[in-house]
């Protein structure tokens, strides 16, 4: 979830009303935002909705609150503006179709950039491109001083060793290849382009490089400073919807601060989702038709059509009432999250305020209960506590060394490919390991030790659909100067008696047991467990100071 910081003053100025702190915080839920404290005199605000990038900025939060306070739709005339005359254009090369096909841009002018705005531009750019744009893969943004650019701008596919320019942060011209190799941003993002034979490049009509998208801007044009009042904002990516959404959000953010937005048209030699001439900002608004009855049923209310229309409007959504009780809701062009009527219904609920709903107890009668496997497992737990065994409860992730080497076992088990620490790298396939982990940490605890665990293990099994079986197991271990096979045999015998299972032991050595002091437990023709006196080498490997014997039963096979 993105977290942004913004100044309270700036936020209130954008909302356009003087609100005290409590009132301001009480309005944050409208933007699925929560106050996360203050830092350096700024508010830290966490945004919940990963599908609403328009809210990930001071301007976006203010916009959502402003709509509610004014009950009116914000006006962004540029979404319906006519394409500009030739000049403010981007010409796209055919070669980009297979590399990074989409580019879009607009110009914002008329206000001077101040320090606060600059910080917000950079923050929003980072949230949109790193978060929503999947680390620049789907959206990479450049902001430039438009006054220095000679239009039309050209978006072309350049050979890695051919094009040269001075990237931000460096003094000398470098080829695109050198940038990927030596520039910190080049190293960070090169995976996005290095597989391509040619790289994307933005140049102006005079041949001056704007940037090497999605890597780095040029020093010549790609550096915005306080005082600039004419900005060129450009985004490249793969999906026109995403590129347009990001630019629409940026355009609205500038407009909210009083900037005038001038659209730019990109001209493609290939087809895009919106044809070969695409003007940005672009109206990508999505309209959904929702029956009023469905809204009321989902919310448990009896709202009139007009109330729904007003609530949607106060949430920034244009709504029309159609015949036969249909509500036509059109999301604003800075949102792309309308996928289903349910999304419209949530907007109505949020705008109305969750605290305005009276909770209602579901009245239907249902019979509750634990799963049969849990009931059986709980029975076994009760038995073992009664026999004098202390219950333990463990993590099921552990190191391979614990689950294998220290038990002298070498069978496959469920391993994690992308583990973070090798102490949490495999899933236990027997409870013995968990019991030994307790013993290893408890050599100072008064003996005798009698411990048990009932819990899940994942047993590697190539024949199983998921390559493993999850089993409920019960295992008990005794450690003391006198502990031995026959002690645990007595407890196993009692357990099987009270569970009413006829069992027999069949002598079979186990790698972790003393030779001749291990057996498998059989019920009918099924092997359901193991009983063993642990081998001194195993005890030593675990750093244990007392002899130990144990049994382990597969409850899933026994139930």
Partner 1 sequence: MDIETLARGLHPLEIRVLRACPERGEAEEKQVRSEAGLEEGQFRRAVQWLLSKEIVAVVREEVVETIRLTELGKAFAAKGTPEMQLLARAAAMPGLTVPECTAGFDLPEEEVRAAFGKLRKLDALRIAGGGVELNQGADIGPFERVSALIARLAGQAGAALAALPADEQETVRSLVHKRMRAKGVFYLERATNLVFALTAAGAEVRAKAFALGLRGEEVSRLTPEMLRDGSWRGKTFRKYSVDFAPPRRVLARRHPYREFLDFVKSKLTSMGFVEMRGPLVECEFWNMDALFMPQFHAAREIHDAYFVKAPTHAARLEPDFLAQVAAAHENGGESGGRGWRYTFDRERTRRLVLRTQGTALSARQLGLGALVPGRYFAMARCFRPDTVDATHACDFFQCEGIALGEEINFRTLLGLLALFATEVAKAEEVKFVPAYFPFTEPSVEAHIRHPRLGWIELGGAGIFRPEVTYPLGVKAPVLAWGLGLDRMAMVALKINDIRELFSRDLDALRTRRLELELY
Binders in 341-380 for partner 1, by CB under 8 A:
341-343, 345-346, 349-350, 354-355, 357-371, 373-374, 378
385 binds partner 1 (CB under 8 A): yes
Q: How buried is 548 (Cβ within 10 angstroms: 0-12 exposed, 13-18 middle, 19+ buried)? A: buried
Residue closer to partner 1 by CB (options 30, 107) is: 30
Which residue of 36, 162, 415, 422 would you call a contact of partner 1, by CB under 8 A? 415
Instruction: Determine contact, residues 501/458, Cβ cutoff 8 Å.
Output: no
- The minimum distance between CB 14 and partner 1, in angstroms, equals 21
What is the C-alpha separation between 541 and 545, in angstroms, rounded? 11
- The minimum distance between CB 250 and partner 1, in angstroms, equals 20
* Positions in 311-340 near partner 1 (CB under 8 A): 339-340
- The minimum distance between CB 543 and partner 1, in angstroms, equals 13
* Positions in 435-474 near partner 1 (CB under 8 A): 437-442, 444-446, 449-451, 456, 458, 462, 465-470
Q: Which of 551, 447, 451 is nearest to 494 (CA)?
A: 551
399 binds partner 1 (CB under 8 A): no
Residue closer to partner 1 by CB (options 210, 478) is: 478
Residue closer to partner 1 by CB (options 81, 350) is: 350
Residue closer to partner 1 by CB (options 232, 491) is: 491
Task: Write the CB contacts of 361 (distance below 8 Å, at least 6 apart in sequence).
Answer: none
Stretch that binds partner 1, among 78-86, 105-113, 316-324, 392-400 (CB under 8 A): 392-400
Stretch that binds partner 1, among 116-124, 402-410, 419-427, 504-512 (CB under 8 A): 419-427
- The minimum distance between CB 222 and partner 1, in angstroms, equals 27
- Joined tokens for residue 264: 């730019």
- Joined tokens for residue 32: 């699925």
- The minimum distance between CB 491 and partner 1, in angstroms, equals 12
Which residue of 74, 131, 325, 511 would you call a contact of partner 1, by CB under 8 A? 131
* Positions in 15-34 near partner 1 (CB under 8 A): 29-30, 32, 34
- The minimum distance between CB 542 and partner 1, in angstroms, equals 12
- The minimum distance between CB 48 and partner 1, in angstroms, equals 4
Max Cα-Cα span within the chain: 95
3-state secondary structure 126-169: HHHHHHHCCCCCCCEEEEEEHHHCCCCEEEEEECCCCCEECECC
Instruction: Determine contact, residues 117/258, Cβ cutoff 8 Å.
Output: no
* Positions in 533-552 near partner 1 (CB under 8 A): none
Residue closer to partner 1 by CB (options 151, 376) is: 376
Peptide bond into 298 cis (omega under 30): no
- Taking only Cα atoms into account, the Rg of the chain, rounded to an integer number of angstroms, comes to 33
Across 240-267, b (16+ Cβ under 10 Å) vs e yields bebbbbbbbbbbbbbbbbebebbbbbbe
Q: How buried is 188 (Cβ within 10 angstroms: 0-12 exposed, 13-18 middle, 19+ buried)? A: middle
Q: Please name the residue that has the structure tokens 């993002």.
A: 189
393 binds partner 1 (CB under 8 A): yes
- The minimum distance between CB 61 and partner 1, in angstroms, equals 13
Stretch that binds partner 1, among 8-16, 98-106, 420-428, 499-507 (CB under 8 A): 420-428
Stretch that binds partner 1, among 8-16, 44-52, 74-82, 190-198 (CB under 8 A): 44-52
Instruction: Determine contact, residues 318/73, Cβ cutoff 8 Å.
Output: yes
Instruction: State the binding string over 476-495 for partner 1 (x if CB under 8 A, else -).
Output: --------------------
Distance, C-alpha 16 to centroid of its chain: 33
Instruction: Determine contact, residues 332/317, Cβ cutoff 8 Å.
Output: yes
394 binds partner 1 (CB under 8 A): yes
* Positions in 209-248 near partner 1 (CB under 8 A): none
Stretch that binds partner 1, among 210-218, 417-425, 510-518, 543-551 (CB under 8 A): 417-425
Task: Write the CB contacts of 103 (distance below 8 Å, at least 6 apart in sequence).
Answer: 90, 92, 96, 155, 202, 213, 234, 235, 236, 243, 266
Q: Which of 36, 59, 211, 238 is nearest to 133 (CA)?
A: 238
Instruction: State the binding string over 52-71 for partner 1 (x if CB under 8 A, else -).
Output: x-------------------
Task: Write the CB contacts of 544 (distance below 8 Å, at least 6 apart in sequence).
Answer: 436, 439, 440, 443, 479
């Amino acid at each position: 979830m993105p977290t942004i910081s913004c100044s309270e003053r700036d936020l209130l100025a954008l909302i356009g009303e003087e609100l005290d702190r409590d009132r301001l915080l009480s309005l944050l839920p409208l933007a699925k935002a929560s106050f996360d404290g203050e830092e350096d005199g700024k508010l830290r605000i966490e945004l919940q909705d990963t599908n609403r990038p328009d809210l990930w900025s001071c301007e976006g939060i203010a916009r959502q609150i402003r709509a509610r306070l004014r009950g009116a739709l914000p006006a962004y005339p540029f979404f319906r503006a006519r394409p500009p005359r030739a000049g403010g254009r981007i010409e796209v090369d055919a070669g980009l179709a297979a590399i990074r096909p989409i580019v879009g841009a607009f110009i914002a002018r008329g206000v001077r950039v101040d320090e606060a705005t600059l910080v917000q531009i950079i923050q929003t750019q980072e949230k949109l491109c790193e978060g929503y744009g999947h680390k620049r893969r789907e959206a990479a943004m450049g902001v430039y001083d438009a006054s220095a650019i000679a239009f039309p701008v050209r978006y072309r596919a350049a050979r890695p060793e051919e094009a040269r320019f001075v990237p931000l942060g460096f003094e000398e011209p470098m080829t695109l290849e050198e940038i990927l190799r030596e520039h910190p941003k080049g190293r960070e993002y090169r995976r996005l382009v290095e597989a391509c034979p040619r790289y994307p490049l933005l140049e102006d009509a005079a041949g001056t490089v704007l940037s090497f998208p999605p890597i780095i801007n040029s020093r010549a044009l790609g550096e915005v400073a306080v005082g600039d009042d004419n900005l060129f904002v450009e985004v490249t990516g793969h999906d026109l919807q995403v590129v347009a959404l990001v630019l629409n959000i940026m355009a609205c953010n500038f407009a909210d601060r009083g900037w005038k937005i001038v659209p730019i048209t990109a001209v493609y030699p290939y087809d895009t989702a919106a044809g070969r001439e695409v003007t940005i900002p672009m109206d990508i608004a999505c309209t959904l038709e929702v029956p009023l009855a469905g809204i009321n049923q989902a919310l448990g209310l009896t709202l009139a059509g007009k109330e729904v229309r007003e609530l949607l409007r106060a949430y920034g959504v244009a709504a029309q009432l159609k015949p036969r009780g249909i509500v036509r809701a059109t999301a604003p062009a800075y949102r792309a999250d309308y996928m289903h009527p349910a999304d419209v219904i949530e907007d109505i609920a949020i705008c109305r305020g969750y605290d305005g709903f009276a909770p209602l107890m579901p009245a239907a009668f249902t019979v509750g209960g634990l799963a049969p496997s849990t009931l059986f497992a709980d029975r076994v737990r009760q038995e073992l506590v009664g026999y004098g065994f202390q219950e333990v409860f463990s993590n099921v992730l552990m190191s391979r060394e614990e689950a294998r080497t220290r038990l002298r076992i070498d069978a496959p088990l469920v391993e994690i490919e992308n583990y973070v620490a090798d102490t949490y790298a495999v899933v236990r396939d027997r409870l013995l390991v968990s019991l030994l982990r307790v013993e290893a940490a408890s050599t100072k605890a008064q003996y005798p030790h009698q411990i048990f665990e009932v819990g899940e293990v994942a047993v590697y099994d190539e024949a199983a659909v998921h390559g493993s079986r999850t089993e409920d197991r019960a295992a008990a271990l005794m450690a003391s100067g006198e502990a031995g096979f026959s002690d645990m045999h007595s407890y196993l015998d009692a357990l099987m008696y009270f569970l009413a299972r006829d069992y027999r032991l069949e002598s079979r050595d186990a790698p972790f047991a003393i030779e001749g002091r291990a057996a498998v437990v059989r019920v009918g023709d099924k092997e359901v467990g193991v009983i063993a006196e642990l081998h001194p080498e195993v005890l030593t490997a675990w750093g244990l100071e007392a002899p130990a014997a144990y049994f382990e039963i597969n409850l899933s096979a026994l139930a």
